[in-house]
Structure 1
Amino acid sequence: MPLPDQSSAGLPRVAVEEGLPLGADPVAPSVRVIGDWLSDDPGRALVLALIGAGIYGLLVLLRWGLRKLAARPAAEGAWRGLLGKAVCATRSFFLAVVAAQIVAASADLPAPLVRVIGFLFTVGTVIQVAIWAETLVSGLLDLRSQRAEDDSAVNLLRTLLRVAVWLLAFLTLLANLGVNITGLIAGLGIGGIAIGLAAQGVLGDLFAAFSILLDKPFRRGDTILYEPGAIGTVEEIGMKSTRIRALSGELIVVSNAKLLGATLANYADYRRRRVVITFGLIYETDVDQLAGVPAIVRGVVEAVPLASFDRCHLIRFGASSLDFELVFTVDHPGLVEMMSAREQVILGIIRAFRTGGLHFAYPVQVGMIAGPDGLIVDPAVAAAAGAGHPRPPRSAVTGNR
């Protein structure tokens, strides 16, 4: 009849397997068995110890080589850098228990010694995996955030991730050691739900802050449009709110959840700026002169540093002008540089048009006089009639001109 894992009195498994009486201490017999094995065959034990030391030395040499490979300039990069950090975080204790486990799996060792090595291997593996996970998570967070050491939200996220990693490692270790963790997990779940319901707004803003820091729609120092007509510079991304310095000087505090759900325009990501200028010439301008306007404007734009000509066309008949549209780009992200180039282009166009005899249009309104019958009187005809000349018939044209 097979023996159960534990007696009704909670006796450890090793005591039952060794056939010990109830209440007996399982440690002393295990130590006695291991000591007998060492005394009976010391040569074999020494050989196995040397093999384990050799395996440990090879693992240490492999870790050293991977460290050197990760430290080379050619290995620079996001993922290679993270893997290099993970290799550097590999502990010697883990390498030692791995070597011992390899020896125990391939050699005929006493059962108590195999159990001890298995226990140490389980503990060492769980701890080492937790260290690797913490290293990789922290490295990814550093890559996805800016000036993480100065930002409280990033530091809090790093702390929460570390707590989660080590809590998961602790639960895994207890499960591997035979402890029933179902009740513990249920308690943690109920507590988490209660906390989440009690602090929905705070947690919403907190996770929104994490999303902003990881996704990076904007960073500290960026100028953004966060509401229609509301433009400001981001000064701080906090755990619950983001502080924005408006163009008029006041400090605007916006909740992270609201900011994350809004449609943002980030002006800091400019690489070049597009400028559109509309101007009009008088209707009396000669057609050949109108046809030569794009070439004149192109020469003006190309003479301005950082400005690149795109197009210039006669686009419509305006109320008092023939309207042209000029489009050019400024190869600089700065607002001041764009405005300076725009100013130079406008001044250049004014000079070029004055030299070429072209005249800018301005709004003109002409008043017409109508006779008793409602017909418009031509001013030239009225002037001729006042000078004593015969008055020609009035025009039948009505309306304004």
Structure 2
Amino acid sequence: MNYTLWNNDLLAWSIAAGIALAAFLLLYAARKLLVTRIAAFAAHTTTWLDDLAAKVLAATHPLFMLALGLYAGSHWLTMPAKNEAMLSNLAIAALLLQMARWGDVAVHGWLHYYRVRRGGQDAASTTSTAALGFVARVLLWAIIALMILDNFGVNITTLVASLGIGGIAVALAMQNILGDLFSSLSIVLDKPFVVGDFITVDDFSGTVEYVGLKTTRIRGLGGEQIVFSNSDLLQSRIRNYKRMQTRRIVFGIGVVYEISKQQLLAIPGILREAVEAQPQAKFDRAHFKSYGASSLDFEVVYIVQTPDFGVYMDIQQAINIALFERFEQEGIGFAYPTQTVRLADSELRIARAPREEAATG
């Protein structure tokens, strides 16, 4: 007895099922073979691209391969043009969804590699690249969704226009949040600072603890946590002391006026010797700068060969002690603020006193 189902007999259905099964098994075996070969090759290389290729191929879903197998088997059947068009659209939709999955895995794998490679040098990369990856994946799936709708004959022009208008409204309502989000992306891409850097923003100083999607938090010198919005932070002047290579130090001393010319001329050399005695200090200059209100002022400039603040303070302390000892040996006194008050009336009376005594005598 010859049974027919949807204008196809049992033999046609059997052949179509066999083609679909064979295509599925062939695709499944090809995926497994390629993933195994690429993974074995990646184990002997240092590049990350082959590892990523293996992960992307491994993300090929069995349902996608089954859909392709069914589409291949359907060509053996006799179907109305409408049904053929529907199967073709479904196959294209399955391909687009699989492409979205490949792209999602590729983005996730690249971000993971970036975090592993930069994590030790840039601790802020974890949070920031997560934000960047989220935006990239949302855009990817949105584009794939629009392509699938267009494949099924939906007029996406109106939809895109509506989304554009709605997006503008949402952007206006959330402009502060979106501004902080894009500022976060700017921080990760431009890297003005990373977690662990010591920075100064306006009158606030501290160590960066966290860089988020909306805020950045630093630990102040007093132990308090200071929170900045990312937009405000990038609009401010930021001083990043962690990226200093050397420190240029300028300091001054004052000596008393009651010194000789020889002592005055010897002071720049004494200052130079005190600085050059420090291994990590490079002498720049020392000059008699000016006549102060109560002192002869000298200015010294030197370069500390390390950005470490503790090392700088140790050097400055050693210089100060050396100057104290040397000035004591040379008989040079350090100046301190003094004022001399002269009373004109008292001086006049003292000058008149001998004359008055002579007149009365």
- Taking structure 2 as the reference length, the TM-score comes to 0.68
Change (3 A) 1:243 1:287: same
- In structure 1, the partner of 2:178 is 203
Question: How far did 1:276 drift?
Answer: 1.3
1:161 corresponds to 2:136: yes
Amino acid at match of 2:330: G
2:190 corresponds, among 207, 215, 224, to 215
**d(CA) in 1 for partners of 2:299 and 2:104?**
63
The answer to whether the 8 Å contact 1:242/1:255 transfers is yes
The answer to whether the 8 Å contact 2:124/2:194 transfers is no
The answer to whether the 8 Å contact 2:100/2:140 transfers is no
1:329-340 paired onto structure 2 within 5 Å = 329-340=303-314
- In structure 2, the partner of 1:232 is 206
The answer to whether the 8 Å contact 1:133/1:165 transfers is no
**d(CA) in 1 for partners of 2:12 and 2:59?**
26
Question: How far did 1:326 drift?
Answer: 1.0
1:2-401 paired onto structure 2 within 5 Å = 32=12, 35=15, 63-64=38-39, 67-68=42-43, 70=45, 72=46, 75=47, 81=48, 83-91=49-57, 112=75, 119=92, 124-125=98-99, 127-136=101-110, 139-140=113-114, 143=118, 146=123, 151=127, 155-175=130-150, 180-227=155-202, 229-368=203-342
The answer to whether the 8 Å contact 2:59/2:101 transfers is no
Question: How far did 1:201 drift?
Answer: 2.2
**d(CA) in 2 for partners of 1:178 and 1:308?**
75
Amino acid at match of 1:263: R
Give me the identity figure in percent: 33
**d(CA) in 2 for partners of 1:209 and 1:190?**
25
Unpaired segments of 5 or more residues in structure 1? 1-23, 40-45, 76-80, 97-108, 389-401
SS in 1 for 2:278: coil
**d(CA) in 1 for partners of 2:112 and 2:154?**
30
**d(CA) in 1 for partners of 2:229 and 2:31?**
54
SS in 1 for 2:288: strand
Amino acid at match of 2:280: L
Question: How far did 1:351 drift?
Answer: 0.7
**d(CA) in 2 for partners of 1:253 and 1:57?**
50
Change (3 A) 1:89 1:166: farther
Question: How far did 1:210 drift?
Answer: 3.2
**d(CA) in 2 for partners of 1:176 and 1:127?**
18
- In structure 1, the partner of 2:68 is none
Change (3 A) 1:54 1:148: closer
The answer to whether the 8 Å contact 2:304/2:312 transfers is yes
SS in 2 for 1:89: helix
The answer to whether the 8 Å contact 2:215/2:230 transfers is yes
Question: How far did 1:279 drift?
Answer: 1.0
| Larger mean Cα displacement after TM superposition, 331-340 or 174-183 | 174-183
**d(CA) in 1 for partners of 2:106 and 2:336?**
73
Change (3 A) 1:300 1:112: same
- In structure 2, the partner of 1:21 is none
Change (3 A) 1:131 1:173: farther
Question: How far did 1:349 drift?
Answer: 0.9
Change (3 A) 1:156 1:60: closer
Question: How far did 1:238 drift?
Answer: 3.5
**d(CA) in 2 for partners of 1:175 and 1:66?**
40
**d(CA) in 1 for partners of 2:339 and 2:195?**
53
Change (3 A) 1:290 1:65: farther
**d(CA) in 2 for partners of 1:146 and 1:350?**
45
Question: How far did 1:218 drift?
Answer: 2.5
Question: How far did 1:311 drift?
Answer: 1.8
- In structure 1, the partner of 2:84 is none
Change (3 A) 1:304 1:215: same
How many residue pairs get matched? 326
Pairwise CA RMSD? 4.8
Instruction: Kindly indicate whether structure 1 or structure 2 has the higher relative contact order, using CA contacts under 8 Å at least 6 residues apart.
Output: 2
Deviation per CA, 1:330-359: give whole Å up to 9, x if none.
233232332222111111111112122323
SS in 2 for 1:248: coil
- Taking structure 1 as the reference length, the TM-score comes to 0.62
Change (3 A) 1:237 1:335: same
Question: How far did 1:147 drift?
Answer: 5.3
